[in-house]
Amino acid sequence: MPELPEVETIARGLDRRVAGDTVESVWIGSRKQPLKSPAGVIAATLEGKRIVRVSRAGKHIVFDLERAARVTTSSQTKKDKRSGRSQPRQAAFLHQSDAHAQWIVHLGMTGRIVVCEPAAEVAKHTHLIAKLASGRELRFIDPRMFGKLSVHAGGFDPGGVEPLEVTEERFIALFRGRKTPIKSALQNQKLLRGVGNIYADESLFRAGIRPRRRAAAITREQLGKLHRAVREVLREAIALGGSSISNYVDADGEEGFFQLQHRVYGREGEPCLVCRTAIRRVVLAGRSSHYCSKCQN
Ligand SMILES: [Zn+2]
């Protein structure tokens, strides 16, 4: 499942490829599961829109859209020529409520989004194809349909705070009085956006905190360490992901990413890279957690 660094990498790759391009038409398959907004609304919102930028909010990919200028120019240019006031008209147009919109893609477990030539074979489980003015296509594919597509008028807010932007004070305050294990709190999307199982384990290892510790019982100093660890882990993973994204977006998605060398995640029984103690695995809220019993307490 893509976590924050992967989604960030995908969003950056998409931004490089499709920002400035315009959606000419949209095909949506008959499966309703991936759609959080009705198919007709998604198609109507995307068609004729220019993709201003693609970014990440939590684990969501956000396409900022604005109505493509050329859709409205034919009638407008004439008027503008007569009045000689093209600038004010343009400004007025941009304030119309439907001139801007957002397309939100959540990849879920198995979703992927590819930019390809129209001749490329349409993969099984393709749920949406957007034809772009450049001649390319943007396709959303998801075999298991945990991914979700929706459109918003603007200001999409997935809740929680961005782990890469949150200040230390705010970060510490998130966990105050929480009786849940710190690992569960780290993954609570209402608190922090986008930290999943792998990066939670890796961050806790670097901060020297065991995953089952009660969040409320952790000292400010340790939470400060954790704040730095979370950001460090995510930044390193994003830096690594940047070099593999072109493969991921281009091809059929099987390449995967360069991964951060995990220090604990998935290393049960293997020696800790710091102290050689065997890494332990415990199950917490149905998910595996990995830690070193000597380096973390
Ligand atoms: Zn250790």
> What value, to the nearest 5°, has the Cα angle with vertex 229 and ends 223 and 235?
140
- Spacing, Cα 253 to ligand 1 middle (Å): 35
- Spacing, Cα 291 to ligand 1 middle (Å): 8
- Are 156 and 179 contacting, i.e. CB atoms less than 8 angstroms apart? no
Catalytic residue among 3, 8, 137, 202: 3
Whether the predicted pLDDT of 54 surpasses 80: yes
Residue 3 is among the residues annotated as catalytic for this protein: yes
Q: 130-156 pLDDT, tens per residue?
A: 999 999 999 999 988 888 999 999 889
Residue 5 is among the residues annotated as catalytic for this protein: no
- Spacing, Cα 29 to ligand 1 middle (Å): 50
Percent of the chain with pLDDT over 90: 62
Tokens of 204: 């806790």
Residue 2 is among the residues annotated as catalytic for this protein: yes
Handedness of CA 51, 55, 61, 66 (dihedral sign): negative
Q: 100-122 pLDDT, tens per residue?
A: 999 999 988 888 898 999 999 99
- Spacing, Cα 262 to ligand 1 middle (Å): 13
- Are 199 and 228 contacting, i.e. CB atoms less than 8 angstroms apart? no
- Spacing, Cα 35 to ligand 1 middle (Å): 45
Q: 275-288 pLDDT, tens per residue?
A: 999 999 999 888 89
Catalytic residue among 53, 212, 213, 287: 287
- Are 94 and 65 contacting, i.e. CB atoms less than 8 angstroms apart? no
- Are 149 and 180 contacting, i.e. CB atoms less than 8 angstroms apart? no
Which among 5-19, 213-227, 255-269 has the top mean pLDDT? Answer: 213-227
Residue 36 is among the residues annotated as catalytic for this protein: no
CA gap 73, 87 in Å, rounded: 13
Lowest mean pLDDT among 27-41, 192-206, 253-267: 253-267
What residues have CB less than 8 Å from 46, skipping those under 6 apart? Answer: 23, 26, 65, 103, 130, 151
Is the whole-model pTM more than 0.75?
Answer: yes
Quote the distance between the C-alpha of residue 223 and its chain's center: 25
- Spacing, Cα 293 to ligand 1 middle (Å): 7
Reference 10, options 60, 49, 66; nearest CA is: 60
Catalytic residue among 12, 50, 59, 67: 59
Lowest mean pLDDT among 53-57, 215-219, 259-263: 259-263
